[in-house]
Amino acid sequence: MRFTRRTLLRGAGAGALAVLLASCTPRTTDPDPSASATPSATPTPVGEVPAAAAFVRSQWATDPFAWGSRVTRPVGATDADLRTLAEPVAERVFFAGDATDPDRPGTVAGARASGERVAIDLSAFATTDERVAVIGAGIAGATAARTLADAGYDVTVIEARHAAGGRLSTAADEDWPVPPQRGAWLFGAEDAGVTTEMALGGATFATVAASAARGAAGEETFSDGTVVAEAIAEASGAPTDVALADAIAETGVPDSDALGAYLAWLSALTGIDPETASTWFAPELPGGEFEAATADVSAVVSDPLDGLTVTYSTPVSGVIYDDTGVSLRLATGEALTFDRVVVTVPIGVLQTDAIAFDPPLPFAHRGAISALEMGAIEVVWLRFDEPFWETEAGLWHVVGPLTPEETASPTPTPTPGAEAAVDRTIRSWVNLMPATGEPILVGIVGGPAARAVADLGDDELLTLAAESLAPFVGA
Ligand SMILES: Cc1cc2nc3c(=O)[nH]c(=O)nc-3n(C[C@H](O)[C@H](O)[C@H](O)COP(=O)(O)OP(=O)(O)OC[C@H]3O[C@@H](n4cnc5c(N)ncnc54)[C@H](O)[C@@H]3O)c2cc1C
C-alpha cells in the first residue's frame, strides 16, 4: 500500500452533513466577466458555519476547452516531451501554451514565454506577408498573436469561448468587493515578471502569509514539507523515475495527517496527483508567502489582443495541413485557410479528439501529448456577511478526518476494478480577511480531489465546504 492511500481515502465519507449553504449565489466556470450579478438571497445560518452570501466555483476538470488546470509530468514524462511538443510540424503547424515550456511548465509565465518563443520559431520559416491563425486566446495565444502582428503578419485569433483569458479568468461582479478568480491567481517570487505585467494592466495583489492548521479536535500540526523535499532529492538520483507517493514511502517516514494535509496543499497549488507525479521532474514545492490577485487580471491577455482580429465562440475542430498551407475546420462547419497555424489549446484538449489533425501529428508529438498529464485544481470562493473566524492567518490547512465515522472507520480496502474513493475534503483555504478586510474564504483542491469536487452539484459542494471549514468556526 502506498504511503498516501490512507489519507487519500479518508474523506470518502464527506458529504454526510445537511446542505448548509444552499442560499448562496452560484457561478460556474464562465469566462464571460461581463455576466451580470444575481442578487444574493438572505443567508440562513445552519449549524455553526453560516450560509455564505455568495459563492463562485470553477469546474476546469469538466471544461471541454481545458479538461483540467495545468500541465503536470507523471512518471514516464520528461522535459523532452515539452520540447518535442514545441517542435514545428511540416513547417506549418506550431504549438505554444503551458505544455510547451520546459522552464516553467504549467504556469502563466511559461505560457507567456511560449507565445514569444513560437513567434520566433514561425518567423524562421515564414515571410511577413503571410496569414497566420492562432488557435486559443489565452496568454500564450495573445502573446504569440501580438508578437506576430507587430512583426507584420496578418494574424487571426480563433477562440472557442465567448471571451479571452483561458485559464486566467476573473469573475468581474459588483457583488464581490474582491473579484473571484477561477484560474491562476496565487503567485510566488519567481512570478515577479508576470505579476509586474498584470499590475501594469490594473491588477492588484495582496500578500497571503502565516498559516494555521486545525482538525476535528482543534489545533493541529502542519508538515513543513521537509519529508517531501527529501523524498524528491533521494528519488531524483534513482535509476528509474518513481511516483512522489512511492518516493515518500521509501523514506520510511510513517504516514501522518499533517503530511496528508501538506500533500493536499501541494496538489492544490500544482494540480499533481502524488500517486502518479514524477520525482525526476518534480513539482515546485510551495514557499511560505504568496501574492494573491485582488483585482481583474484579464488585461494581461486582453491588452495584447487590442486591435487584432479575434473570432470568439468558434471552436476549431480540424487542422488540415500540407506543404502549401493550412485549412482550419470550425465547429460551425466553415473552413478557413491560412499559411500557418499556432495551436495553443491546453494539453487536456490535445489529448481528446476535439481537434483532428490531418495528416495525423508525427509519432513524436503524439507520444509527448499522451505522456504529459493535465493536472486538476478547483477553487470555491465564499463571501460571508461577517467572519465566523478570528484567526489572522492567511492560509488555513484542514488536517485529518473531520467526522466521527471517518475517525472510527478503518481504511476501506480497495476492491480490484472498483473506483478508488478519494478524500474530497477541501483542506486548503485562503483567508482574504487579513489582506483585504473582506470576509472571503477561498477553498482550493487539487489532483484527484479536484476531479471529484468538479463532479459535485452546487449544493453538494457547499455542504462539503461547510464541513471542511467546521474546524475554523470561532478559531
Ligand atoms: C485553478 C487554476 C490555478 C492555477 N494556478 C496557477 C498559479 O498559481 N500560477 C501559475 O503560474 N499558473 C497557474 N495556473 C495555470 C495557468 O493558468 C496556465 O498555465 C496558463 O494560464 C495557460 O495559458 P495558455 O494560454 O497556455 O492556455 P489557456 O489559458 O488555457 O488558453 C488556451 C485557449 O484555447 C482555447 N481553446 C481550447 N480549445 C479550443 C478549440 N478547439 N478551438 C479554439 N479555441 C480553443 C481555450 O478556450 C483557451 O482560451 C492555474 C490554472 C488554474 C486553472
State pLDDT tens for residues 156-196: 999 999 999 999 999 988 889 999 999 999 999 999 999 99
Model pLDDT, residue 174: 84
The Cα 380–Cα 242 span in angstroms is: 32
Model pLDDT, residue 10: 39
The Cα 181–Cα 226 span in angstroms is: 30
**C-beta 349 within 6 A of ligand 1:** yes
Place of cell 514511502: 249
- For 33-60, how does the pLDDT look when each residue is reduced to its tens digit (9 = 90+)? 333 333 343 333 334 899 999 999 999 9
Nearest to 269 by CA among 71, 75, 446, 7: 446
- Ligand 1 atom closest to the CA of 158, numbered from 1: 43
Handedness of CA 299, 301, 303, 305 (dihedral sign): negative
Ligand 1 geometric centre to CA of 222 (Å): 31
* Rounded to 5°, angle at Cα 241 from 240 and 244: 140
402-421: b or e for each residue (b if 16 or more CB lie within 10 Å)? bbeebeeeeeeeeeeeeeeb
* Cell, residue 67: 479538461
Edge-to-edge strand order for the sheet containing 325-330?
Answer: 335-338, 325-330, 316-322, 356-358
The Cα 94–Cα 118 span in angstroms is: 7
Determine if the peptide bond prior to 359 is cis (ω within 30°): yes
Res 424 pLDDT > 80? yes
One-letter-per-residue 3-state SS of 308-348: CEEECCCCEEEEEEECCEEEEEECCCCEEEECEEEECCCHH
Predicted ipTM?
A: 0.99
Q: What is the DSSP string of 122-179?
A: HHTT--TTSEEEEE--SHHHHHHHHHHHHTT-EEEEE-SSSSS-TT--B---TT-SS-
What is the percent of the chain where pLDDT is above 70?
87
Ligand 1 geometric centre to CA of 112 (Å): 11
- Ligand 1 atom closest to the CA of 344, numbered from 1: 32
Residue ranges of domains in the chain, CATH in brackets: 5-65+186-295+376-472 (3.90.660), 71-167+297-371 (3.50.50.60)
Ligand 1 geometric centre to CA of 108 (Å): 8
Instruction: Output DSSP code: residue 19.
Output: P
Q: Which residues contact 416 (CB under 8 A, 6 or more apart)?
A: none
Model pLDDT, residue 39: 35
The Cα 96–Cα 87 span in angstroms is: 10
Instruction: Output DSSP code: residue 52.
Output: P
Candidate from 40-44, 109-113, 421-425 with smallest mean pLDDT = 40-44
Rounded to an integer, what is the distance from CA 83 to the centroid of its chain? 21
| Protein residue closest via CA to atom 20 of ligand 1 | 108
Model pLDDT, residue 420: 59
Look over the chain and give the mean of its residue pLDDT values, rounded to a whole number: 89
Ligand 1 pocket test, candidate residues 345, 381, 442, most atoms within 8 A of CB:
345
- Ligand 1 atom closest to the CA of 345, numbered from 1: 34
Q: What band does 135 get if pLDDT is binned at 50, 70 and 90?
A: very high
| Protein residue closest via CA to atom 13 of ligand 1 | 184
**C-beta 355 within 6 A of ligand 1:** yes
Res 386 pLDDT > 50? yes
**C-beta 195 within 6 A of ligand 1:** no
Q: What band does 32 get if pLDDT is binned at 50, 70 and 90?
A: very low
Contact, 76 vs 383, CB < 8 A? no
Model pLDDT, residue 26: 42
Ligand 1 pocket test, candidate residues 98, 159, 167, most atoms within 8 A of CB:
167
Res 412 pLDDT > 90? no
Model pLDDT, residue 257: 95
**C-beta 31 within 6 A of ligand 1:** no
Please indicate whether residue 289 or residue 38 has the higher confidence score (pLDDT). Answer: 289
**3-class secondary structure, 470:** helix
Nearest to 292 by CA among 203, 354, 212: 203
**C-beta 179 within 6 A of ligand 1:** no
- For 208-235, how does the pLDDT look when each residue is reduced to its tens digit (9 = 90+)? 988 999 999 999 999 999 999 999 999 9
**C-beta 166 within 6 A of ligand 1:** yes
**C-beta 430 within 6 A of ligand 1:** no
Span 416-429, average pLDDT: 78
Please indicate whether residue 244 or residue 42 has the higher confidence score (pLDDT). Answer: 244
The Cα 276–Cα 451 span in angstroms is: 15
Span 403-414, average pLDDT: 51
Place of cell 494581461: 300
Ligand 1 geometric centre to CA of 157 (Å): 15
**3-class secondary structure, 417:** coil
From residue 345, how far is each of 14, 72, 97, 139, 184 by CA, in Å?
Answer: 34, 15, 7, 11, 16
Model pLDDT, residue 288: 80
**C-beta 444 within 6 A of ligand 1:** no
The Cα 286–Cα 50 span in angstroms is: 31
- For 304-355, how does the pLDDT look when each residue is reduced to its tens digit (9 = 90+)? 999 999 999 999 999 999 999 999 999 999 999 999 999 999 999 999 999 9
Res 119 pLDDT > 90? yes
Model pLDDT, residue 415: 52
What is the percent of the chain where pLDDT is above 90?
82
**C-beta 449 within 6 A of ligand 1:** no
| Protein residue closest via CA to atom 11 of ligand 1 | 107
The Cα 246–Cα 274 span in angstroms is: 9
- For 9-30, how does the pLDDT look when each residue is reduced to its tens digit (9 = 90+)? 333 333 333 223 333 444 444 4
DSSP-H helix ranges across 157-282: 192-200, 226-235, 244-251, 257-270
| Single-letter code of the amino acid located at 244 | L
**C-beta 406 within 6 A of ligand 1:** no
Contact, 143 vs 352, CB < 8 A? no
Report the Cα–Cα distance between both ends of the chain, in Å, rounded. 36
Ligand 1 geometric centre to CA of 311 (Å): 18
Res 265 pLDDT > 70? yes
The Cα 232–Cα 99 span in angstroms is: 22
